[in-house]
Structure 1
Amino acid sequence: MKVSVDRDLCYGSAECVHRAPEVFAFVDGFGVVRPGRDQTGEDPEILEAVEKCPSQAISITEAPRSAPDRP
């Protein structure tokens, strides 16, 4: 799973940082995903951040699968 913040929707409430500070940071007035933390499982704190984001700027999508190696 991949977590991301849509900067066009985010209005800087910092709810994500409050709910999952190890995954989200507050930079230049917007919530962002910390470097290296975009790939995630179904962490309850992240799911709560998605649910409680007042601007609905956080999304979780399935990470693209790599093509299998061919002989």
Structure 2
Amino acid sequence: MRIVADKDLCVGAGQCVLTDPQVFDQSDEDGTVVVLVERPTDLEKAREAVHICPSGALSLVEE
């Protein structure tokens, strides 16, 4: 599975970074999500980040 982030939907709340800072970061320019690891090994944390994203900017895609 891989993480897909829609930066147009992202509001920069940072919940993803708080959930898994090894996978997510925020842009210094506008605070939107930056995916550091597109295919995370800890899918539980990735699913949690997708679930709690307030804008729905994150999704998990099966390949």
Shorter-chain TM band: 0.7 to 0.9
Q: CA RMSD in A?
A: 1.3
Deviation >6 Å, runs of 4+: none
Count how many residue pairs are aligned between Structure 1 and Structure 2. Answer: 61
**Identity of aligned pairs, percent?**
38
Structure 1 partner of 2:34: 32
1:48 Cα deviation from its structure 2 partner: 0.6
1:39 Cα deviation from its structure 2 partner: 1.4
CA deviation vs aligned residue, 1:2-60 (integer Å, no higher than 9, x gap) = 102100100100000000111001112101101xx101356211111000000010011
Give unpaired runs (5+ residues) of structure 1: 64-71
Structure 1 partner of 2:49: 49
- Larger gyration radius, structure 1 or structure 2: 1
Structure 2 partner of 1:14: 14
Q: Partner letter of residue 32 of structure 1? A: V
Contact 1:4 1:32 in 2 (8 A): no
- Using structure 1 for the length normalisation, give the TM-score: 0.78
